[in-house]
Structures are given as C-alpha cells and as structure tokens.
Amino acid sequence: MNRSRVLRELRVFIVEDDYFCSEVYKREMEQTGLTNFHVFRSSEECLTNMGLLPDIILIDYEMATLDGLQVMKMIKKTYPYIHVLMISSKKEKELAIDAMKYGAFAFIRKDGNEMYQLNQAVSNIISRYTRHFNLCKHLKVAASYV
C-alpha cells in the first residue's frame, strides 16, 4: 500500500531531445510502477519547469545548448535532494566520474544495457522513498503516544 502511494506521488522529468528515446525511457520507468511524468525536449524547458519539484530527473548528456552535466550542476545547487540520472552514449570514463562527482544518483551508458541500468536505478530510488515514507509514518504513530 505504501509503495503504491509513493509510486503515484513521485514526479519524474525526462529530458531528452530524441522523441523515440524519451518514449522508450518512459515506458521502461512505467514498468516500475511510476505514473507521473513530464517530458522535455530541451534543458531550458526542464529548468523552466523546476517549480514542479521533480523527485527524479533522467537527463541525456548530449543536449543542444546546455549539456546534461551543466544542467545537473544548476539543479543540484538549488535542489540537492533530487535524484538525477544521467544517460549518455559517450564512452569517456571521465564523464561518468564527473557526473557522479557533481551529484548524479547514477550514470547510465547507452551501451545496449541501458534499460536494465535504468530499471535498477529507478527501483533503488523507489525503495529509498518507500523506506522514508514508512519511517515517517512510524514516527508519526510513535509521536502520538508521547
């Protein structure tokens, strides 16, 4: 029951300029039970809509004007608690290291195994939120006895 509530409430941004890729990512995340998606075709659209307070952002590294790493740095300054998943076809290990250094929850390489990696990362985030939800619920119950 708590997990279903968490799944309904989690807000996900997908920032991907390729329509086909964004739909594939969305469908994969729907398999985990998530339902609340906002898809943006540019980094600027994502930044403009940060007032919607997403819980998870999947962002492609290679975007037209601001790359995913630049956008993630901006987001993390104001919203350090947001789980950012960066996805890229770039093979350079330094990019993955930089993404993690600047706050990515996961770096997903487009290598034919990205759907499995995406599913694992999203499942881990859902588990964290579910544990947090359950802990808060138990603390409220305990506080009512004081």
Where along the chain do its domains lie?
2-144
Task: Give the C-alpha separation, 102 to 67, whole Å.
Answer: 14
pLDDT value of residue 1:
45
Which residue, among 110, 97, 23, 102, has the nearest Cα to 60 in the 3D structure?
A: 110
Comparing 6 with 132, the larger pLDDT belongs to 6
User: What value does the mean pLDDT of the chain take?
Assistant: 89
Instruction: Supply the CATH classification number for the domain 2-144.
Output: 3.40.50.2300
pLDDT value of residue 131:
78
Which residue, among 117, 101, 100, has the nearest Cα to 28 in the 3D structure?
A: 117
pLDDT digits (tens, 9 = 90+) for 57-106: 999 999 988 999 999 999 999 999 999 999 999 988 999 999 999 999 99
Over 90: is that where the pLDDT of 26 sits? Answer: yes
